[in-house]
C-alpha cells in the first residue's frame, strides 16, 4: 500500500506531535517549583523492583522445567546477571554478560 505525499506528511506530523507531547507532559504536570504528589514518590520506589520481577517472569515463562536441560541455561544466566550486578553494579554489564552467557550455553553447551 503506497501512501500519498499528504498521508506521509500527516503521519510524520502525528508521530512528531506524539513524541513531543510525551517529552513535555512530565514538565507540564510536575513543574520544578512544585512538590510532586506522594503517589509519584511511591511509584518511583516500587516500579523498578516490579519491572525487574516482571522481566524475570517473562524471561522464564516458557522454560521447560520437566525436560532436559531442565532450565539450567536460564537459571545459570539469571545467576550470572545477579552476580555481575552485585559485583559491579553496572546494568549494561549485567545484561550483556547474562545474555552472552545464555547464548553460549544454548548454542554450544546444552545443544
What is the DSSP code string of 34-68? SPPPHHHHHHHHHHHHHHHHHHHHHHHTT--SSST
Is 105 found in the same domain as 65?
yes
- Asked whether residue 70 is domain-assigned, the answer is yes
CA 3 to chain centre: 33
HSE value, Cβ hemisphere, 13 Å, CA-based, for 84: 18
If asked whether residues 69 and 101 sit together in one domain, one would say yes
* Structural domains in the chain (count): 2
pLDDT band, very low/low/confident/very high, at 23 (cuts 50, 70, 90): very high
- 108 domain-assigned: yes
Residue 40 lies in a domain: no
Q: Which domain holds residue 26?
A: 1-32
pTM of the model: 0.65
Q: Do 27 and 52 fall within a single domain? A: no
Residue 14 and residue 64 in one domain = no
Model confidence over 31-88: pLDDT tens digits?
A: 989 998 999 989 999 999 999 899 999 999 999 999 999 999 999 999 999 999 999 9
| Residue 37 located in a structural domain | no
Amino acid at each position: 500500500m503506497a501512501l500519498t505525499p499528504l498521508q506521509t506528511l500527516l503521519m510524520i506530523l502525528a508521530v512528531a506531535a506524539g513524541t513531543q507531547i510525551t517529552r513535555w507532559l512530565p514538565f507540564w504536570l510536575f513543574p520544578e517549583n512544585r512538590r510532586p504528589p506522594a503517589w509519584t514518590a511511591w511509584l518511583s520506589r516500587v516500579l523498578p523492583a516490579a519491572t525487574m520481577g516482571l522481566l524475570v517472569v517473562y524471561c522464564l515463562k516458557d522454560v521447560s522445567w520437566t525436560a532436559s536441560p531442565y532450565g539450567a541455561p536460564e537459571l545459570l544466566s539469571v545467576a550470572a546477571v545477579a552476580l555481575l550486578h552485585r559485583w559491579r553494579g553496572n546494568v549494561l554489564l549485567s545484561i550483556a554478560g547474562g545474555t552472552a552467557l545464555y547464548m553460549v550455553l544454548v548454542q554450544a553447551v546444552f545443544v
